[in-house]
A and B are shown apart, each in its own frame.
Chain A
Amino acid sequence: MAMPTAIATKHLTVTLETQRVLQGVSLKIAEGQVTGLLGPSGAGKTTFLRTLVGLQRPTTGEVEVLGYQAGSKELRSKIGYVTQAPSVYPDLTVTENLNYFASIVGTNQAQVARVLDDVRLAKQVSQLVKSLSGGQRARVSLAVALLGQPELLILDEPTVGLDPVLRQELWDQFHDLAKSGVTLVVSSHVMDEAKRCDALVLVRDGKLLATGTPTALMAETGTLDMESAFLRLVEHHS
Chain B
Amino acid sequence: MSFKRTTSTAGRVLRQLRHDPRTMALILFMPTVLMILLKFVFENQTAAFTNIAPVLLGLFPFILMMVVTSIATLRERTAGTLERLMTMPMSKIDFIGGYAVAFAILAIAQGTLVGSVTLGFLGLTVAGGAFKLLIVAGSSGLLGMSLGLFFSAFAQSEFQAVQFMPAFAFPQLLTCGLLVPRDQMAKGLQWFSDIMPLTYIVDGMKQVTLYSTWTHDLIRDLTIVAVCTLGALVLGAATLRRSHK
Question: A residues bordering B, Cβ < 8 Å?
Answer: 53-57, 59, 71, 76-77, 79, 81, 83, 85, 87-93, 96, 100-101, 103-106, 128, 144, 148
**A85 B80 Cβ-Cβ under 8 A:** yes
**A87 B16 Cβ-Cβ under 8 A:** no
**B81 A148 Cβ-Cβ under 8 A:** no
**A87 B79 Cβ-Cβ under 8 A:** yes
- Residues of chain A with a CB closer than 8 A to B220's CB: none
**A87 B83 Cβ-Cβ under 8 A:** yes
**B15 A92 Cβ-Cβ under 8 A:** yes
**A55 B243 Cβ-Cβ under 8 A:** yes
Residue of B12, B16, B89 near A77 (CB, 8 A) is B89
Query: Looking across the interface, which residue of chain B has its beta carbon closest to that of A15?
Result: B245
**A103 B83 Cβ-Cβ under 8 A:** no
Extra contacts, 17 of them, besides A57-B243, A92-B12, A128-B19 (Cβ < 8 A), are: A53-B87, A54-B242, A55-B86, A55-B243, A57-B245, A59-B245, A76-B87, A76-B89, A77-B89, A89-B79, A91-B19, A92-B15, A96-B12, A104-B5, A104-B8, A106-B89, A144-B84
| Given A71-B242, A87-B81, A103-B4, A54:B19 Cβ within 8 A | no
Interface string of B220-245 (1 = CB under 8 A from A): 00000000000000000000001111
- Residues of chain A with a CB closer than 8 A to B19's CB: 91-93, 128
Residue of B11, B20, B245 near A91 (CB, 8 A) is B20
Q: Please name the 9 residue pairs, one residue from A and one from B, whose CB atoms are nearest each other, closest first.
A: A87-B80, A103-B8, A87-B84, A100-B12, A76-B89, A91-B16, A87-B81, A91-B19, A57-B243
Most central of A55, A56, A90, A104 by chain B CB within 10 Å: A104
Most central of B4, B9, B84, B242 by chain A CB within 10 Å: B84
- Residues of chain B with a CB closer than 8 A to A88's CB: 81
Range, interface on chain B: 20 to 34
**B83 A89 Cβ-Cβ under 8 A:** no
24 contacts between A and B (CB under 8 A): A54-B87, A57-B245, A71-B242, A76-B88, A76-B89, A76-B90, A83-B84, A85-B80, A87-B79, A87-B81, A89-B12, A89-B79, A90-B79, A91-B19, A91-B20, A92-B15, A100-B9, A100-B11, A101-B88, A103-B4, A104-B90, A105-B88, A128-B19, A148-B88
- Residues of chain B with a CB closer than 8 A to A57's CB: 243-245
Give how many A-B residue pairs fall within 8 Å (CB-CB). Answer: 73
Query: Looking across the interface, which residue of chain B has its beta carbon closest to that of A71?
Result: B243
Tell me the minimal C-beta distance from B3 to chain A in angstroms: 11
| Residue B85 lies at the interface, judged by CB distance under 8 Å to chain A | yes
Interface string of B1-25 (1 = CB under 8 A from A): 0001100110110011001100000
Interface string of B130-163 (1 = CB under 8 A from A): 0000000000000000000000000000000000
- Residues of chain B with a CB closer than 8 A to A79's CB: 87
**B243 A54 Cβ-Cβ under 8 A:** yes
- Residues of chain B with a CB closer than 8 A to A101's CB: 88
Most central of B8, B19, B87 by chain A CB within 10 Å: B87
Query: Looking across the interface, which residue of chain B has its beta carbon closest to that of A54?
Result: B243
Tell me the minimal C-beta distance from A208 to chain B in angstroms: 22
- In whole angstroms, what is the CA distance A91 to B22 when docked? 13
| Given A57-B245, A91-B19, A100:B83 Cβ within 8 A | no
- Residues of chain A with a CB closer than 8 A to B86's CB: 55
- In whole angstroms, what is the CA distance A90 to B19 when docked? 10
| Given A87-B81, A89-B81, A55:B244 Cβ within 8 A | yes
Query: Looking across the interface, which residue of chain B has its beta carbon closest to that of A77?
Result: B89
- Residues of chain B with a CB closer than 8 A to A128's CB: 19
- Residues of chain B with a CB closer than 8 A to A92's CB: 12, 15-16, 19
Residue of B4, B15, B83, B90 near A55 (CB, 8 A) is B83
Interface string of B59-100 (1 = CB under 8 A from A): 000000000000000000001110111111110000000000
- Residues of chain B with a CB closer than 8 A to A76's CB: 87-90
